[in-house]
Amino acid sequence: MPLRQLAIPQIQMKRCSRIHTYKLLTYAEHKGQQVNNTAVYYWYKYNKEIIKSFHYFRNSHSGGGFGELEKIMEPPSMVLLGLFVYGLACGVQQTQGSPSDSSHGRDRTQEFESSEDGLEREFLYAGRSKRAPADQQQDKCSYTFIVPQQKVTGAICVNSKEPEAMLENRVNKQELELLNVELQKQKRQIETLQQLVEVDGGIVNEVKLLRKESRNMNSRVTQLYMQLLHEIIRKRDNALELAQMENKILNQTSEMQHLTSRYKDLEHKYQHLASLATNQSTLIALLEEQCQSRPPPRHVPIPQPRPQPPPPSPPLIKPYQPPVLPRINNPISNEIQSDQKSPPLLPTMPAGTHSPSTTDKPSGPFKDCLQALEDGHTASGMCLVKPENANRLMQVWCDQRHDPGGWTVIQRRVDGSVNFFRNWETYKQGFGNIDGEYWLGLENIYWLTNQANYKLLVTLEDWSGRKVFAEYASFRVEPEADFYKLRVGRYHGNAGDSLTWHNGKQFTTLDRDHDAYTGNCAHYQKGGWWYNSCAHSNLNGVWYRGGHYRSRYQDGVYWAEFRGGAYSLKKVVMMIRPNPNTFH
């Protein structure tokens, strides 16, 4: 400790009471600074040996030994040493006093108790232990230390008689207060935890409910997924079956088309032979008439026809006619035959010499139906046509009734007896019945429309008997290398224009997709047409009875501008005729 902050105790003992008051004063020798009780305690601990030495010299009544103290104590403490010497002298005088005082001193035992941490006890105990032998022989003396007055009066009074129980109770109260504070803090923490547990419990319940709902949703989603898989598998199976059925239908239709083409060839050959036989029979009849009219000069030339091959032809005509008539069960063939049989009536006319000119009427083939009309075929029916620059013959239906006549029919729909859902090759060659529903064929249409300028007439009839038409000033198709691209001219009519939207589009079938749609329009429209994306008209679609139909797609025979795409028309005819006023 610094020397200027040493604490000097002043002790005053009163014999009248057993309570001794210790007033601890602090004094700063140099600067006069105030120090606390801790400084006093440290001063006592520092000068403890001085106090012990003082008791030792007082009890031994020796005046020497201060050199020892000088070594122990610091120079500022030498003043206190003088005070101790003065007290020692006072003690010597008291030892020579009356014995009553000594006995009285022996009876009265000093007791010191302090609330401080043993500071005063330790200080006084050291003095009492050193004075114990001397007190047996002589009485005690009282002594007082006088020190300079401190600047700040801050006394600490200690009751030496305060019971230890109160100190313990005070300590216990403090501990209880601390425990109570800690307990309150823990209670608050417990309440906070309970609130958190309650909140967490609600959250846990919600989480459980959400997990339960999630499991239910997962199970439901799994069920829906399984149903979807089954539905997809079923649709795939249906698609495969449908594809197989379509392939079978296409195969059957191709076989039917092949058989039909063979039948047409045979029919064509038969008609050609029948016409030859008719011509021969006509010539024979004319020769017979000539022979009968002029018998004398005809005796010589009569044997001439016998060596010729025509004589055996009459018996061949008779066997041909009976079996052929049942095969051709249509009015067209009968009508054609009636036209072919009509020439024999002409020789009865007065101008018999001009009868060979009548045989040119059924002959052919013609360039088109207009040429047939110009050659005298004023009745509608089937004709043989051979376009210019084409090495092929074709059978067509000539419509001579529709004003002004000379129309070549390239397509007809009347009763739905023919399936128009065909492949590319079938649409190229043509199919159907000439006297009923048929498609002339893309290749035949190409050769017809590229030999001259043609116009197109489309006649439409609904199920209520209403008839309309659409006429286009020009009509032609490109060759197969360009997939029979459509070219149409200006529209005229009362049906509405539903074909110009298809102008410049290539022909599309189920097996040849040339439309602008990402899929195949022929698959959805169930036919072959110059599809765009997909159809504004679909005259080669499915023929539905009754008009309005129900289908997944618009696949009926419709003209969008006339009754819409959900209405299947009753009758449709497409026919062409030369139009000299129009150029490509």
Q: How far apart are CA 13 and CA 160, in angstroms?
A: 13
Residue of 358, 350, 442 lying closest to 394 (CA atoms): 442
- pLDDT(164) > 50: yes
- DSSP secondary structure code for residue 528 in this structure: -
What confidence category does residue 277 fall into, taking pLDDT thresholds of 50, 70 and 90?
A: confident
- Please say which residue of 115, 143, 163 terminates a domain: 163
Q: Name, in order, each residue with C-beta under 8 angstroms of 90's C-beta and a sequence gap of 6 or more.
A: 141, 143
Residue 247 lies in a domain: no
pLDDT band at 235 (very low <50, low <70, confident <90, very high): confident
Residue 467 CA from chain centroid, whole number:
50
Distance CA 479, CA 428 (A): 11
Q: Which of the residue ranges 35-44, 155-164, 359-368, 413-422 would you say has the lowest mean pLDDT? A: 35-44
Out of 163, 191, 213, a domain closes at 163
Asked, for residue 175, whether it belongs to a domain, the answer is no
Residue 455 maps to a domain:
yes
Tell me which of 278 and 520 has the higher pLDDT: 520
pLDDT for res 53? 54
CB atoms within 10 A of CB 12: 12
Would the pLDDT of 362 be above 60? no
Q: List, for residues 177-203, the tens digit of each pLDDT value.
A: 888 999 999 999 999 988 888 887 788
Predicted local confidence at residue 370, as pLDDT: 92
| CATH assignment at residue 484 | 3.90.215.10
CA distance 213 to 466: 63
When mean pLDDT is compared across 48-62, 357-371, 454-468, the lowest value belongs to 48-62
**What average pLDDT score do residues 86-100 get?**
48
The token duo for 138 is 């002589």
Confidence bin at 41 (pLDDT 50/70/90)? low
**Continuous segment of H or E residues that includes residue 538:** strand 537-538
335 belongs to a structural domain: no
Q: Which residue has the higher pLDDT, 70 or 390?
A: 390
Quick: pLDDT tens for 301-336.
Answer: 333 433 334 333 333 333 333 333 333 333 333 332
Q: Is the pLDDT of residue 553 over 80?
A: yes
pLDDT averaged over every residue in the chain: 71
Q: Tell me whether residue 228 is in a domain.
A: no
Domain count, the chain: 2
Distance in angstroms (rounded) separating the CA atoms of residues 511 and 515: 12
When mean pLDDT is compared across 170-174, 502-506, 550-554, the lowest value belongs to 170-174
Q: What range does the domain containing 41 cover?
A: 3-163
Region of poorest pLDDT, from 4-13, 91-100, 336-345: 336-345
CA atoms within 13 A on the CB side of 539: 26
Q: Is 356 helix (H, G, I), strand (E, B) or coil?
A: helix
Residue 188 lies in a domain: no
Q: Is the pLDDT of residue 272 over 60?
A: yes
Contact 74, 3 (CB under 8 A): yes
For residue 122, the tally of other CB atoms under 10 A from its CB is 14
Q: Which pLDDT score, from 0 to 100, does residue 357 have?
A: 37
Q: Is position 495 within any domain?
A: yes
Backbone angle region of 519, left / alpha / beta, with phi > 0 → left and psi within -120 to 50 → alpha: beta
Is residue 487 a part of any domain in this protein? yes
Return all residues near 274 (Cβ < 8 A) that are at least 6 apart.
320, 324, 337, 340
Is residue 455 within 8 A of residue 474, CB to CB? The reply is yes
What would the mean pLDDT of 146-153 be, rounded to a whole number?
56
Examine the fold and report which residue of 110, 128, 163 is the final residue of a domain before the chain moves on.
Answer: 163
